[in-house]
Amino acid sequence: MKLPVIKHLTGFIAENDEDYVLETIETLESITEVSSLKDEELDVIGELISNLYGALEVQKSIKEGKPQKEALNEFMQRVVGSIDK
- Secondary structure letter of residue 77 according to DSSP: H
What predicted TM-score, i.e. pTM, was given to this entire model? 0.89
Cα 57-13-82 angle, rounded to 5 deg: 20
81 pLDDT above the threshold of 80: no
Interval 19-58: pLDDT, tens: 999 999 999 999 999 999 999 999 999 999 999 999 999 9
Interval 63-73: pLDDT, tens: 999 999 999 99
Q: What angle separates helix 18-31 from helix 3-15, to the nearest 10 degrees?
A: 130
pLDDT in the model for residue 69: 92
- Quick one: average pLDDT of 60-85? 87
Encoded amino acid at 9, one letter: L
Tell me what the pLDDT averaged over the chain comes to. Answer: 93
